[in-house]
Structure formats: structure tokens, C-alpha cells
Chain A
């Protein structure tokens, strides 16, 4: 097939098309409509290009595909090395799927500095995709840091009242945490002479690195801290609610939908991939922190008077599931963790968009300002219900599959983890449905809400794909899991004997 010839370049193309679009946009005249259309075209083009990846992906193989490996800088030995496997494949597609929706949802809500907004959005997309496709540790760190600036600026320029505080807090938290990862990467380079993920992994596995047994623990923690802050794992989560509440809708969508997944992806790829021994030793407290995150996040979400904060804390809870699944070292757990990442991206992305729509009309996120919205906004209410149910984990919608797999994995690892984790599912349906009830059911409590407009065209176009994706993912998860499963199996190879040991009580 002729499209196969694209394969060596497709990752570079998908990664840098948004950046190219951003570059063109800088020379655009300040005609807002044209800028929006151009941004939409670029992001849709990226999405279409990224569909090449799942179409031509050989699911049965677990090694990296679409690899491009070119020397970039000779000394130190840095390569432009990209490639994806089943773990990163869908995260790339998730990113390209959410970005056009972000453009649509921002169509009428961003009025000022429109050009800057879309430039930042497209730069952010490039950096996010780059994180998932990099196989060179240096390149990975390069993109990892590159996500900070556009995100911080999106929050700080286009956010709400306390935007500056939130932007600086977000930036400093993640920046300081990631320098520990840099130190660990530099250590690995100093002792292996390579930044290449595969080379380093092989050297660690074969025991070729001197002093590794002493330093391994610290390296593991260096990586882990950077990822844990990004996830965010309890107790590093305090930047998240601030960042979300202050961020513009599109910023929140990408923040929750993709940026947080950088952390869990990093854990899966690097903490598990490079340090199997250390991961096993540290799994117990990480799983406990994940459980605390699930339950604590859910309880705090329940008492939030602010809708957006509620959704933000629900992210802390959901991402706890992902971490729980990853460190269960079971096939089901890891498959589930991957699936929750994708499902959470779609459903929480949708929730943030829906919440943002309400904020645009009423300029508040306070739950008590609303009530009985189902009658003035029926379409909105219906779509909100679908997304809420998906997020709460109703069977046949996407949240259920992932959480179920994670919990069965956690149960295999240690039954008590599974049992405690399962309470999170209960909590999540309580806080989500309770919020839904207060906002949508009953009589309209504030008369201003009677005149609220239902969804506009652009908004419908932004929400419908999320709702459809939530349904399809819930009905036919095999489409996604077929690619994820072999990759997960390969990731678990060093843990085979471990897994069986943990399963035995």
C-alpha cells in the first residue's frame, strides 16, 4: 500500500505539523475568524495524519513501530529517535483527537489575543505528542519541559481571576520536580554513554552498568518524583485544582486529558521499563498513595461547591486508578491503567468542556448558582448525563472497562487493594450524580438560568465526538486493547516471576 511509504516520517509529521501551523499563524493578520479556521484545519489535519498510526500498526508485535532514528547531536550522543508501541499509540491519537475539540470549544469563548491563544495551543500539541513518541531520553526531556511554557501561558494569560498564581504554581511545581528526572537522566548517560531508551534498558537488564545496584533506587525516585507531580499522585496534587479552576476551558481539557497522562505514561515507560527491581520494591507504598489518592480525591470532590474543582478532584481520583493498575504488575491491571488513561481523557475532557460552556454563559462555576437546568438546556443536559455516567463508570460506557480491569488487577496483587479501590467507584458515582442532580434536576432556582441558551453549533461539534467516543470505547474496547495488550505483555516480561509471587497471598 502506497501509504506505507509514509511510515518512517509519519511520527515527525504528526509531531511537527501543529508547530508548523503555529509558525504560519505568527504571520497571520489579526483576523480572528481566519485564525480560528486555520487552527481548526491544522489540528484536524494532524488528527487525520495520526490515524495513519492505528491503521498501519501491527498489533501482534510488541516492539516499537514507525521508528525514526537519526543522529542529532554527536557529542553528547543525542539522537532524534522516535517510535511508538501499543502504549503510546493511543495516547498520541488521544492528543490529536482532543486538540480540534479544544479549538472548537474556544471558538466563541476566546475573544482577546486570539492569535496568541491558538499559537500556544498548537505549540502545546506538538510538545505533548513529542513526549509520547520520543525514545531518546534527552528528546523526551526536551519535549517534557517544552510543554510547561505554553501551558503556563495559557493558564496565566487566558485564565480567570487568580490565573497568575495558578500559572506560577503549576510551573514551579512541575519544573522543580522534573529537574530530579534530569539529574537521573544525566546519571544514566554518564554511565551508559547513551540516551537511547532501548540501549539503556538492555544495559540495565544485562547488569552492565557499574554501581547500578546502589544508585538504582535514587534513579527510580528521581524519575518517579517528576511523574508523580505530573499525575498528580497524592500528596503532590495541590497544584492541580488551582491550575484547573483558573485555566481556560481548552487548557483544562488538554491539562486533564493529556498532560496528566504524561506522568502515568512516564511511570509505565520509564519507572517500570528501566527499573523493574526498584519498581517491585517500591510498589507497596506507591499503591497505598494511589489508594489514598482515589479515596481522598473522591471525598474532596464530593464536598466541592465549585463544579470545575469537583471535576479537577475527580481527576486526582481517576488517576489514582491508573497508578494502582500500573504498580499491580498484572496484565489486567496494566491494560486497565492504559484504558483508564484514554477513557479519562475523553470523558473528563468532555466534562471540562461542558462545565466551561456553563461558565461562559453565567461566569461562575458555583453549583448553588444553578439548578433545574434540564428544562432550559435539554440537549446540554442529555449530553452532560452521558459524559457523567461515562466518568462514573457505568457499564457500556468507557469508564467502566478500565476501572474494572484495574480493580481486578489490584485484587490479584493483593485483595485488600482491590477492595479499597472498589470503594472509589462508589464514591465517584455519588459525587458525580449528586452534582448532576443539583445542577440539572428540579425547578429552576435562579430566574436568570431560565434564559440560558442551549448548545450552539460549535459546541455541539465539540461535545458529540466525546460522547460518541465514550460509547464506542465502552461497547468495543477490543479496538483499543488489541494494540495495548501485546505492549503491556512485553512491558511485564521482567515481572513474570514477580507477578506470580505477589499473587500468592
Chain B
């Protein structure tokens, strides 16, 4: 660190454009603080809704700020933040997920009798961290952003404080998560030792120019461990089911999508930009393991939250398959997948949290029996999300898988593709089980389901529209992802984007 400090001081103070380039983060932080300040001033009961709306407004404002940010692409704050198509994509995705999760939380908070403005503030602060992760190109800043997002999630996980399981889940997540971030930090330290820099572009140039030191392999491997934990990729996935089971359901919807998308964004920058090809087999194995272990684990679950937790491990595996492909196709496939996965998974968890009722009593498969008859609309909505998770045509999940496997096949990863498609076949079984109990079994006990409030309807509507839109007209999002991916890859290696040294290794 000391080595780069003088360089920082020698440069001019930040310009106005620099602030525009982190405007969404600034807006989100301000709204987070407003929520914190308002909380003691408002009446306990009625204030909850207002705080929620303020937080939602924050995400809307942040979305507008993202648009402003997108008008001034470029580097900011002494080359630590990069605004490009890639970071704009993830900003929109992460902020949209936060908005939908906030919308779906109102009812949950009321039903679970959680009264706390800091809940919304923490979501906003966490979003700051995740958004910053996607635009940071400086490993130290990435680490700070990762911590901002992680610490918010640790607290949010334990929000059902009267439940032992929630506290347990929070503690587990905290202990293992800190351990994983330490790995990441250690990796950053090692890469600084190997290349003399913590700036990703700088590192890439150094590694490009000469012999890659052994230290750099170890560094990237350690960073992979840290990020692998965040995305719940095998073999760093063991925490997932317990944490997801105990955490509040809307938070699981957030946790399983937005921080993952952010961590994948970081991983994309590290893997494809730093471009250490020895990582290829590590990713290959992690992808195959995640898909297989996630799907096998999910087969035997009877708790819907645990089932979806295992499914999220499997989906992390599918995304990792794209990491093993060529940089340009792989990057756009990952981007599309995270978007499609966010839409369907947030939607699924919104329904699970609505259905769970006070104290999250109804979360087992048995409770879903006969739902198709008693609440046809709710069941049909969940079915669409499940079909998308299986990867049935007309849904975003289908194209997401399709692009990933197509990218892998293009990179001649025949075996990984076959493992992947087989897994998606096996995976269909447990999603189908949920549909089977909903439609094909009679209810054995009475499960009270409250009418769906307007805000939740709105949230579900967003998710449904996104899922189906991505399933029928994927071109728009995909071509945007492709353009930004190409820009990202070309910047990393000017002139020879298509002919990276990796492709030689990857012809298996």
C-alpha cells in the first residue's frame, strides 16, 4: 500500500465527474442515512411503511443516478473505479433486485412483527457495497466494497432475532464469511507482492509482459476461494443451506442473487482480465462439483428454503461453467445468467416469504400441498419461476442455461457441457416436486394464506415480466451484455482479444 500512496497524493483532487461516476453509491448511502435518522422520529407502527417507501425511493433515485453515471463512462478516483457497460449492467441489476426485495419486505416485516428501520437502511448500505464491487477495478477497493456488502448481510441474516435458527444462521455466516474474506485479502496481498500493484489493469499488464510468478497463481487461487464462498460454489458451499434456512425469506432472495451477481462481476474481472490460465482447471472442477453437489443435495430436501439454497449452489455451478469458456462469450453468458437468475429467484423467494406466515411456520413441501387449487394465481406465479429455474423454454432460465452451455461448447468443453446438461435434467426433478405437491396433491392441513398486498403484487409483477421477457426477447439484454463484455475483454488485452493464451489450454 505504501508504495502507491505517494502516487495518489501527487495527483489532483477528484473532479466533479469522479463523483458522478459513483453517484448511485452516494445516493444509496444518503437514503440509507435518511432512513436511519427518520426511524426514531417516526411512530413505531405507522413509521415502518414510510421507512420502506423512503428506501424504495432511494433505489429509484439510485436507478436514475445510474443513468446519469452511464452518460460519463471512464475511470474515477485515481483509476480505482471504472464506469463501463459492464459496471452499468450490474448496477442496474443489483439496484433492481434491492428495489424488488424492499417491496416484498413490507408485508413480511409486518407479519413477522419486526420493527426496525435499520432493516431497510442495511439493505441500502449492502447495495452500496455490491454496486461498488461491480465498478471497482482496484483490489483494495473491491475488498472494502465486499466488506460493506458482507457485513450488511451478516446483520440482515439475523433479523428474526426471536428465532434461534436465525441467530445461528447469522453467526455461521459471519464466522465463515470473515474467514473467506480473509482469504480474499490474503490473495490481494500476495498479488501485490507478485506484481507490485493492486490495480487490476496494472496487474494484467505486468502479468502479460513477462513470466507469471508462482505467487500470482497462489494469489488468484486464494481470491477464488474468497469469492467462491460468496457465490456459494462447491467446495465452499457448505454454509448455504443452514444460512438460507435461518435467514428471513426476503433477505434470502436478496442474498442469493445480488451479492452473488456482484461477486461474479469481481470474479469476471479477475479471471478474464488478470487472466491466469492455471485457474482454468480449478474453475472446471468447481463448476462440475457445484452443479452436481447442489442438485444432489436439493433432491432430498423437504424444506423449500433449503431446497432453493441447494438449487442456488447448482446455479452457481452453471454460471461457473461460463467462466471456463472463452472470455467474450463467457462474460456475456454470465451477465445474462445473473440477470435471469435474479428475476426468477427473487420472485420465488418473495412467494416463499409471503406463504411462510408468522414465524416462518409454513416452509416445508407438505405445506404447499393443494396450493394450486386453493390459491391458483399464487401457485401459477411460483410455477413460472420454477419452470424458469428448470430451464423450460419461454422463460429467462432457458436462455440463461442455453447461453452458458453454448459458450462452453464453443470453447470445446464437451465434457463440462455434458455434465451441465445432465445436471439440468436431474435438477428438474426437485423443482417438479414443488409443482407436484402444489397441483397434484390434496391439502392435508389448512394453511392460512393472507391476501397478496399491493406491494408484493408489484414486486412479483416485475419478476414475472422480467422472467418472461428474457425468455422471449433475450436479444436486447444479451447484445448489451455482449457489447460490454467485448469492451471489457479488449481493454484487458489490447489488440488480441480473441487469441488469449487461455484458449490454447482450453481446447479440451
Verify A187–B421 contact, CB threshold 8 A: no
* B394 contacts A146, C-beta separation under 8 Å: yes
A73-B475, A146-B393, A187-B414 in contact; A182/B421 too (CB < 8 A)?
yes
- Measured in the bound complex, the distance between the Cα atoms of B417 and A467 in whole Å is 48
CA distance A178 to B387 in the complex (A): 16
A294 to chain B minimum Cβ distance, whole angstroms, is 29
Stretch at the interface among A86-94, A160-168, A469-477: A160-168
Q: Which of A146, A156, A178, A179 is the one whose CB lies under 8 Å from B440?
A: A156
Q: Is A143 an interface residue (CB 8 A)?
A: yes
- Per the bound structure, the CA–CA distance linking A74 and B394 in Å amounts to 17
Flag the segment in A38-46, A169-177, A260-268 that touches B: A169-177
Question: Is A75 an interface position by the 8 A CB rule?
Answer: yes
> Which residues in A have their C-beta under 8 angstroms from that of B372?
157
Tell yes or no: A236 within 8 A of B by CB. no
Given A148-B392, A156-B436, A190 contacting B421 (CB threshold 8 A): no
Q: How far is the CA of A187 from the CA of B428 in the complex (A)?
A: 23
- Bound-complex Cα distance A152 to B432 (A): 10
Could you tell me if B405 and A143 are in contact, using CB atoms closer than 8 angstroms? no
How far does the Cβ of B391 sit from chain A's closest Cβ, in whole Å? 8
Q: Residue B48 at the A interface, CB < 8 A?
A: no
Contact A176 B482 (CB under 8 A): no
Looking at the assembled complex, report how far the CB atom of B365 sits from the nearest CB atom of chain A, in whole angstroms.
Answer: 13
Question: Are B429 and A190 in contact, CB atoms less than 8 angstroms apart?
Answer: no
* A478 is an interface residue with CB less than 8 A from chain B: no
B478 on interface, CB distance cutoff 8 Å: yes
B 482-507 binary contact with A (CB < 8 Å = 1; else 0): 10000000000000000000000000
Does B167 count as interface, using CB distance less than 8 angstroms? no
Do A190 and B410 have beta carbons less than 8 Å apart?
yes
A130 closest partner in B (C-beta): B393
Judged by a CB distance under 8 angstroms, whether B422 is at the interface is yes
Residues of A within 8 A of B403 (CB): 76
What's the Cα separation between A46 and B478 when bound, in Å? 35
B425/A179 in contact, CB under 8 A: yes
From known contacts A172-B429, A175-B425, A179-B425, infer whether A149 and B440 are also in contact, taking CB-CB under 8 Å: no
User: In the complex, which residues of chain B have a beta carbon less than 8 angstroms from the beta carbon of A145?
Assistant: 392-393, 398
Contact present for A75 and B418 (CB under 8 Å)? no
Interface residues on A, range: 20 to 34
> What is the number of residues of chain B that contact chain A, defined by CB distance less than 8 Å?
35
Q: B392 near A164 (CB under 8 angstroms)?
A: no
Per-residue contact bits, chain B 412-440, to A (CB 8 Å; 1 contact, 0 not): 10100110011011101100110110011
Contacts of B478 in A (CB 8 A): 73, 75
A156 to B429, CA, bound (A): 14
Q: Say if the beta carbon of A189 comes within 8 Å of chain B.
A: yes
Q: A156-B440, A183-B421 are in contact. Are A189 and B426 (CB under 8 A)?
A: no
Most-contacted residue by chain B among A146, A156, A182 (CB, 10 A): A182
- Whether B387 pairs with A179 at a CB distance below 8 angstroms is no
Complex CA distance for A190 and B425, rounded to whole angstroms: 21
Q: For the complex formed, measure the closest distance between the CB of B82 and the CB atoms of chain A, giving whole angstroms.
A: 25
Among residues of A, the one whose C-beta sits closest to the C-beta of B412 is A190
Q: Does A461 count as interface, using CB distance less than 8 angstroms?
A: no
The answer to whether B409 touches A189, judged by C-beta atoms less than 8 angstroms apart, is yes
| B409→A176 contact, CB < 8 A | no
Interface 1/0 per residue, B467-482 and A, CB below 8 Å: 0000000110011001
Give A75 to B425 CA distance when docked, in angstroms: 25
Contact B428 A172 (CB under 8 A): yes
CB pair B439 A186 closer than 8 Å = no
- Smallest beta-carbon distance B410→chain A, Å: 4
B405 adjacent to A182 (CB under 8 Å):
yes
Answer yes or no: A180 CB below 8 A from chain B CBs: yes
* Given A73-B474, A168-B432, A190-B409, CB of A179 within 8 Å of CB of B393: no
Are B425 and A176 in contact, with the CB atoms below 8 A?
A: yes
CB distance from A106 to the nearest CB of B (A): 18
A142 on interface, CB distance cutoff 8 Å:
yes
Return chain A residues, CB-CB under 8 Å to B277: none
Residues from chain B with Cβ under 8 Å of A422 in the complex? none
Assess A168 versus B405: contact at CB under 8 Å? Given A75-B478, A186-B417, A190-B410: no
Q: Is B441 an interface residue (CB 8 A)?
A: yes
Sorted from nearest, which 8 A-B pairs have the closest CB atoms?
Answer: A179-B421, A176-B425, A186-B409, A142-B393, A190-B409, A156-B440, A179-B425, A190-B410
A-B contact pairs, 30 of them (CB 8 A): A73-B475, A74-B475, A74-B479, A75-B478, A75-B479, A76-B403, A113-B373, A142-B394, A145-B393, A145-B398, A146-B392, A148-B392, A149-B387, A153-B439, A157-B372, A168-B432, A168-B436, A172-B429, A176-B422, A176-B426, A179-B424, A182-B405, A183-B405, A183-B414, A183-B418, A186-B417, A187-B414, A189-B406, A190-B410, A190-B412
* Interface contacts beyond A73-B475, A176-B425: sample of 16 additional A-B pairs, CB < 8 Å, sorted by A: A74-B479, A75-B475, A75-B482, A145-B398, A148-B392, A149-B387, A164-B441, A168-B433, A168-B436, A172-B428, A172-B429, A183-B409, A183-B414, A186-B405, A186-B406, A189-B406
Q: Report which B residues bind A (CB closer than 8 A).
A: 372-373, 387, 392-394, 398, 403, 405-406, 409-410, 412, 414, 417-418, 421-422, 424-426, 428-429, 432-433, 435-436, 439-441, 474-475, 478-479, 482
